[in-house]
Amino acid sequence: MNSVVRWLIIGALAGALSACAGMNAGTTRGTPARVAARSPGVFGELAPPRTVAPAATQNASQLKTALAAATRGDAAAQFVVGSDYLRGAGVERSLSGAAFWLRKAAAAGIGPAECDLGYLYETGQGVARDYPKAAKWYGKAAALGIANSEYNLGLLYTHGFGVPRDYGQALKWFRASAAQGDPDAQGLIGFLYRKGWGVPRNYTKALQWFHRAAARGGAYAEANIGEMYFTGEGVAQNYSQANRWFLLAARQGNALAQAALGLAYLRGAGVPRDDARAIFWLRQSAREGFADAQNLLGDLYRDLGRYSRALKWYRASADAGNPRGECYLAIAYLSGQGTAKDPSRGVAWLHKAAVGGEARAQLMLGVQYMIGRAVPRSVERAYAWVSVAARAAQHPQYAGIVRNRIAADMTPAQLAQADRWVRAWKVGRDIE
């Protein structure tokens, strides 16, 4: 058999396996995996940082008075003006204006201004993103007992942004915020007990904290209770109970709960199967930017043969840096489903997904390097990417078959080089 034809067949096999693995991966768990909004973390989009509740003026006249006082050096007025600019209250929203006035108020020791300035540094709004500076200002405000700053500082310690990852410190600050009645902080304490991070895993305590938060309307806690019932984690599995809690959280705009409820309707888990309701809730979640919901919508539309709509949601996920969305966008360009076929663009997206740790993309990228059409042929890179895929793939035997076939065409020196690349690889870096 001609070698190019042989590798085209292997490439088609890898693509088919990747598509099948994708459909399986999307349904192996009861709810979508958590995806971080800012960068990989543990709480994802369910726990964004928060500003202090508005101290804002009500109209342009009041703003003018506050601005005059702020200009004279009144620190409290500087916070009010900065808060108005941050929220667009009585004035056109200006993040640079917010940063200017909040810096002045924070320098004078106004705790809420310190919290909001930390928020700007954490999110990169009006200033360059700087996690250490965010931690510094959150720490100053937290020392004054500002609950939102205690909560935000706990998140930084949980993610390891600007400070070393330290679940014990995270728990300390969540407890401080929770003691002031913050339901989100109470929910996050429950999550630490649920996962056993910084404390021994204890489902009973996790549920106690979740219910305490849920009694105060904490959507994050409600979503966690739903997830535990859906998966049978620490409680008897009960889809009906899960969906009751998901609905409470979903109505408050919780993205994971909306996605999980959509998935329940899609599967008929605890509710009658209803594709229309599934699409409704998945869209709600996807519009919040929840990448797993975007991918699920893409899967649903793809299975219905509505490839252009599937592509829209895969692209949204990919543009947000989600490796699975990047992988399926790549498949669309390679196959021409929903868009014009563009192998070069497809391989570029495969590369992004592979670097991000998506095993299907790693397998397919390895085959592309072996075929050598959309990228220069390289048996070393082909072997390395397929080997990395074999370590993480849901069905590693398939990647192993492809890897062994590539190895048969390699010299000992080429194998040694590829093995060095494999040993050095980690998520977020290229094969080199």
- Residue 8: per-residue pLDDT: 35
Taken as a whole, the chain contains a residue count of 432
What's at 184, amino acid-wise? Answer: D
Contacts of 193 (CB under 8 A, 6+ apart): 199, 201, 202, 203, 205, 206, 209
- Residue 64: per-residue pLDDT: 84
- Residue 432: per-residue pLDDT: 83
- Residue 43: per-residue pLDDT: 41
Q: What is the Cα–Cα distance from 263 to 27, expressed in whole angstroms?
A: 9
φ/ψ of residue 431, rounded to 5: -80, 115
- Residue 263: per-residue pLDDT: 92
SS3 (DSSP) at 92? coil
- Residue 48: per-residue pLDDT: 65
Sign of the alpha-carbon torsion through 375, 381, 385, 390 = positive
* Backbone conformation region of residue 196, classed left if phi is above 0, alpha if psi is from -120 to 50, else beta: left
Burial letters for 345-362: b for 16+ Cβ neighbours within 10 Å, e otherwise? bbbbbbbbbbbbbbbbbb
Question: What is the residue-averaged pLDDT of the chain?
Answer: 86
- Residue 56: per-residue pLDDT: 54
Are the C-beta atoms of 266 and 231 separated by less than 8 Å?
no
- Residue 204: per-residue pLDDT: 97
Report CA 356 to chain centroid distance, whole Å. Answer: 12
Q: What is the Cα–Cα distance from 249 to 393, expressed in whole angstroms?
A: 33
- For the chain, list residues with pLDDT below 50: 1-46
Q: Which two tokens stand for residue 217?
A: 């309307």
Q: Which two tokens stand for residue 30?
A: 């009861």
* Backbone conformation region of residue 338, classed left if phi is above 0, alpha if psi is from -120 to 50, else beta: left
Q: What is the Cα–Cα distance from 346 to 331, expressed in whole angstroms?
A: 7
Nearest of 330, 332, 384, 392 to residue 358 by alpha carbon: 392
Place of tokens 């409290």: 76
Query: Which domains, from first to last, does the chain contain?
Result: 3-32+322-424 (1.25.40.10)
User: Residue 427: how many CB atoms within 10 A of its CB?
Assistant: 13
Place of tokens 């094969």: 431
- Residue 395: per-residue pLDDT: 62
User: Residue 196: how many CB atoms within 10 A of its CB?
Assistant: 13
**Burial of 53: CB neighbours in 10 Å, binned 0-12, 13-18, 19+:** exposed
